[in-house]
Amino acid sequence: MKNPTEYVKMRVLAAIDMAEGTTITERIRAVSELTFEDERGQRHRFTFRTIETWRLRYKKHGFTAICPKERSDKGKTRKVSPEELLEAIEQVKPFFRGQRFNLAEVYRRCIEKGLLRREQIAPNTFRRLVKAHELLLPDKDATDKLRLAFAKRHANEAWQSDTLFGPRVATSSGRFVQSKLIAFVDDASRICCHGQFFAEENSPAFKTALKCAFYKRGLPQMLYVDNGSIYSCAELTTICNRLGVRLCHTPVRDGAAKGKVERFFRTVRDQFLLRELDLSSIDVLNEQFIAWAEDQYNHRHHSTLGMTPLERYALDRERVQYLPPNQYSEELFMMEETRGVGADNTFSFKRIRYEAPADLRKKTLHIRYDKAPTGQKAAPPKRIPVYYNGQRIGLAKALDRIANDRPPAPLCDHKNPNSN
């Protein structure tokens, strides 16, 4: 019996007191030989271990401890999201034109085309989820409404990002390293906002890819990432807060939560990585990938959308917010710290004294700088932009003790290229 009711369990526990035997072990063993009838008249037997577990729970926690509990994830799949199922079903629907949908046949087609894997989802689970979420509705309008439940309505409302392990690529030293693809996919249009291979998966690599994605496709309202260290660092949080992008992290070990980018990675594996690629360098690999993503993937008809990702993205082009086109936009991706300015109009940063670019004595300012990559010796930043009250004042300079004898320049209004 898969989930016996508390009625059956109490009958089993009551039988222990009446069973023959001088010890509790002997009485439980005797009960394990008996047959019990449930509310439906069906007869069941239970093992010694099962009965012993019920007895200990009842003795320690009382009646509530033996009451059946519903799984917290009942009705949900832990490996495949309803969104992924819908996309797979949409791609095999043409095989059933003019025919009645057979769930077993739909499942088989999804497996054969590589849209789903047997280890991901069993046939019974597939059938249960399709019925629960009504993924095979004959009415097109109803299907369109269902799609909206799993997708944002407009481009750049949300992006999904993740990392995919790519092929081994030659480096300048002659060694081969495994490349990592960092990609960004728009939730509504499925467009590949940007993708780039790197030799290492770290914060500088992610920041480089993120910067390219923002310049190419504008700013998303939300960026959806997992809980890896490169996605949880202070640098990424600072950048997103400064640009007004909401940074969201998926639940731990919930890959299905990023269904769009995971589906994109499957396409990358099946269509791009199976090609004969030139792996002589990371740069050459990226040239091939960008050409494939921009010229083929973004221009290919998407069955769920009914158009290409680029066409769907273009429908919301007027809603897209792009980065400000000025010479200081690179500073939006820098780290930021607060510093107090002394009476001599200087401040300290990483054990070096710097001069403020204007008269900011006894005031608190914000400085921005590029963080040194992990594992590399931290060198003094080449540029340290200074912001005060949300306005860019200028660049800080390493202290020149001779020139510092001159009075500092007065603080005046500066045009604000970036908000703080």
Alpha-carbon distance of 370 to 392, in angstroms, equals 16
CA pair distance 370, 402, nearest whole angstrom: 28
**Could you give the CA distance from residue 313 to residue 192 in angstroms, rounded to a whole number?**
10
Query: What pLDDT is recorded for position 11?
Result: 82
pLDDT of 409:
59
> What local confidence, expressed as pLDDT, does residue 178 receive?
93
pLDDT of 146: 40
Positions of the chain with pLDDT lower than 70, given as ranges: 1-2, 63-65, 67-79, 96-100, 137-151, 251-257, 373-378, 400-420
Domain boundaries, the chain: 6-66, 82-150, 159-319, 329-405
Specify whether domain 159-319 bears CATH 3.30.420.10: yes
pLDDT of residue 411: 60
Using one digit for the tens of pLDDT, what is the confidence trace for 95-132? 766 566 778 888 888 888 888 888 888 888 888 888 87
The pLDDT, as a whole number, for residue 265 is: 92
Buried (b) or exposed (e) across 349-380, using 16+ Cβ within 10 A? beeebbbbbbbbeebebbbbbbeeeeeeeeee
Query: 192 near 309, Cβ under 8 Å?
Result: yes
